[in-house]
Amino acid sequence: MRPRLSNAERELIKKSIQSAEKPEPATLNHILDSYAELTSIERQYLRDVVQQTKPKRILEIGVSHGGSAVVLLDATRDTGARITSLDYLQQCYKAPSKQTGWIVHEMFVDLSDRWTFKGGGVVCQYLEEVSRGEKFDMLFLDTAHQNPGEFLNILEALPHLDKGAVVVLHDTALYTIDLRCTTNHILLSTLKGKRILFDDPACPNVPNIGGIVLDDPMDRDMLWALFANTALPWTYTPPFVDCTLLHNYYLKHYDKRLVNIFDKSVERHYQGLTNGCPVPSGSLNYVA
Ligand SMILES: C[S@@+](CC[C@H](N)C(=O)[O-])C[C@H]1O[C@@H](n2cnc3c(N)ncnc32)[C@H](O)[C@@H]1O
């Protein structure tokens, strides 16, 4: 026979279950201060955008420990939105013994049934599978911050975003401390739609996080500008196998003339390459 519990004991158990299922904001903030790569004010902005726009299917690209995934999962407890997170790396770049996004499974078990993670290589490889024919209504993009980084990621994501989807970019002002990190500032200015501005006291006028409600993810004029961004100088050159996968994916979704802008940029960077990546012999020859 089980021992009878006093009311006080019952209350205590109830409280501990509740706090395990839904950490107090202070506990959550404490964990995220260590594992999210967003400041608490940036996390609040992301949370506010989610709570105002109420997305049902969120795509995240750029995961690390999983801090921003937890913010997205926590902000959607009421709506039950699904979050799909993708990353180039399967192992967390900040903690290589752990899987990318590990804190979701290890620290926030109650949130993990609404979360899917795929990682390893360029993320376009996973997009058909994870979208399952349905579009996402929010994208949170936070990857390399240097060219071509997010310029390539956004072109991977757009075919899977709905009209009116909200896009949030992080590190839009990182160039204030690292001159190479202009990518997300340029990207935010290139996207067409209604901007969700944030008055960031740390970076007045040029906040380090920003969002936009996209008019039309496949707007031809905007697509030209986004492909033109890929022609800007790159600070790193992705492996050739990645460029090939991206080229083939882009050809499936975009006009060949636009993809040509990306191809020319790949050619230019491989021809002038000095950073040790293997240079393919002869002219570039993409194999489908
Ligand atoms: C700044 S961290 C993400 C931080 C996370 N969003 C957060 O706030 O806690 C950048 C992540 O982007 C990933 N990444 C870098 N380049 C990428 C690419 N081309 N495609 C997908 N993920 C990429 C890295 O592996 C890393 O996990």
Closest CA to 79 of 58, 56, 59, 53: 56
Q: Whose CA is closest to atom 10 on ligand 1? A: 143
Q: How far is the CA of 37 from the centre of ligand 1 (A)?
A: 10
Specify the DSSP class assigned to residue 60.
E
High-pLDDT (> 90) share of the chain, %: 80
Ranking 3-7, 18-22, 241-245 by mean pLDDT, the lowest is 18-22
Q: Calculate how far, in angstroms, residue 144's C-alpha sits from the geometric centre of ligand 1.
A: 6
Distance CA 45, CA 201 (A): 12
Q: Is ligand 1 within 6 A of the CB of residue 89?
A: yes
- Nearest-angstrom CA–CA distance, 138 and 213: 9
- Dump pLDDT digits (tens) for 35-88: 999 999 999 999 999 999 999 999 999 999 999 999 999 999 999 999 999 999
Percent of the chain exceeding pLDDT 70 equals: 86
At residue 284 the predicted structure's pLDDT band, cuts being 50, 70 and 90, is very low
Out of 137-141, 181-185, 234-238, 250-254, least confident range? 234-238
Q: Which has the higher per-residue pLDDT, 288 or 107?
A: 107
Which single residue is written with the structure tokens 């024919």?
133
Assess whether the C-beta atom of 242 lies below 6 angstroms from ligand 1: no
**Contact by Cβ (8 Å): 187, 155:** no
Cis, bond preceding 217 (omega within 30 deg of 0): no
pLDDT in tens, 190-247: 999 999 988 878 777 889 999 999 999 999 999 999 999 999 999 999 999 999 999 9
Confidence of residue 268 (pLDDT cuts 50, 70, 90): confident
| Residue 123 near residue 86, CB atoms below 8 Å | yes
Read off φ and ψ for residue 129, nearest 5 degrees: -65, -50
Report, as an integer, the average pLDDT of 12-21. Answer: 41
Report the pLDDT averaged over residues 75-103.
97
Stretch 130-144: mean pLDDT: 97
Domain ranges of the chain: 19-234
Q: Please, which pLDDT band fits residue 272 given cuts at 50, 70 and 90?
A: low
Q: Is the CB of 64 under 6 A from ligand 1?
A: yes
- Cα of 41 vs its chain's centroid, Å: 18
Taking residues 170-187, report their average pLDDT. Answer: 96
Ligand 1 pocket check for 67: Cβ under 6 Å: yes
Answer yes or no: is the C-beta of 32 below 6 A from any ligand 1 atom.
no
Q: Ligand 1 within 6 A of 62 CB?
A: yes
Question: Which residue owns the Cα nearest ligand 1 atom 5?
Answer: 63
What is the spatial distance between Cα 233 and Cα 229, in angstroms, rounded to a whole number? Answer: 9
Phi-psi region of 178 (alpha: psi -120 to 50; beta: other; left: phi over 0): beta
C-alpha distance across the termini of the chain, in Å: 67
Pocket probe mutation, ligand 1, options 87, 102, 130, max atoms within 8 Å of Cβ: 87
pLDDT band at residue 153 using 50, 70 and 90 as cut-offs:
very high
Q: Is 36 a pocket residue for ligand 1 (Cβ < 6 Å)?
A: yes
Q: Report the CATH superfamily, name and number, of domain 19-234.
A: Vaccinia Virus protein VP39 (3.40.50.150)
Write the CA distances from 228 to 31, 50, 148, 161, 251, integer angstroms: 40, 30, 11, 20, 16
Residue in the block written with tokens 């202070």: 26
